[in-house]
Amino acid sequence: MAMTPGRRAGVWVALCHSLLAAALVCSKNHGNPANDLVDMINKNRTALKLPALNDSPGIGCMALQYIELCKGNCTNNVPHCNVTEDDFTEIFAPNCGVELPTFGTLTGQIVGCHSKYLEPSLAFSQVLVKDNTSLSLLRNKSHTEVGVGLVRAHKGPSFWCVLFSSDHANSTFVLEDRGIGIQQKKGCFSGSSNPCSGGPKRTATLMSTLAVALYCLCILLFHM
């Protein structure tokens, strides 16, 4: 039985909106791979009935600051960083706008690098959690918060950093004005809605373009 023109129009409109929504969701998910890595960390923990960790923007921003000091020093997928404890309170926290009275205790870190950018799932398995030591740290029962930062050197390797804390969630590493003043120019960190610079950002832009193209195609077919 043939559809009436009105029903056919309704089907086309519904299809157009569905395709556009799907493409935009895909674009959004590829905007910040640091958030994807936090999701993977928490899924790994909850699979063992461990509590999920709070995604702290303050810790994530400091993880990005930390790993930026390692750029250009990657040998056999191992970054060589010259970071001291004082750097966290004297450099990283002020740069991120972390309120110093809320600076808590960092209880662990995982750092890694690769000669090229890797999607979150590969970065998780091949760079960050590639041995029992890092896996044990990820599953530590005392952790309550986590932050991830990543950055890519210009035409060089990519770097990742995961920082853990065991303080009370949402009460430490608080950002001034909720991080509005952070001027993020390179890389990205978890807990932020800003897209990554470099490869991940280009992917998001491509998906947004695809979304518009699909929508326009649907409208064109609708009027044929």
Give the model's pLDDT for residue 81. Answer: 87
pLDDT at 158: 93
pLDDT by 10s per residue, the chain, length 224: 454 555 554 544 444 444 444 444 444 445 799 999 999 999 999 999 999 999 999 999 999 999 988 877 788 888 988 899 999 999 999 989 999 899 999 999 999 999 999 999 999 999 999 899 999 999 999 999 999 999 988 788 999 999 999 988 778 999 887 665 566 678 999 998 777 764 444 444 444 444 445 554 555 555 55
Model pLDDT, residue 220: 54
Query: What's the pLDDT score for residue 154?
Result: 79
Q: Measured between alpha carbons, how far is 35 from 56 in angstroms, rounded to an integer?
A: 10
Per DSSP bridges, beta strands 145-152 and 54-55 are parallel
Question: CB under 8 Å to 157, separation ≥6 — which residues?
Answer: 74, 113, 114, 115, 116
Q: Does pTM top 0.95 for this prediction?
A: no
**Distance (Å, rounded) from C-alpha 191 to C-alpha 61?**
9
CA–CA separation, 102 vs 107, rounded Å?
15
Six-digit token pair at 195? 């897209």
- Gap between the Cα atoms of 152 and 188, Å rounded: 10
Q: What is the pLDDT of residue 224?
A: 59
Tokens coding 69:
């000091």
Q: Which residue has the tokens 């909720």?
A: 178
Q: What are phi and psi of 194, to 5 degrees?
A: -75, 140
32-194 to CATH, choices 3.40.33.10, 3.50.50.60, 3.30.360.10, 3.90.25.10: 3.40.33.10
Take residue 78 and report the two structure tokens written for it.
């191992």
Amino acid at 148: V
Burial class (CB in 10 A: 0-12, 13-18, 19+), 20: middle
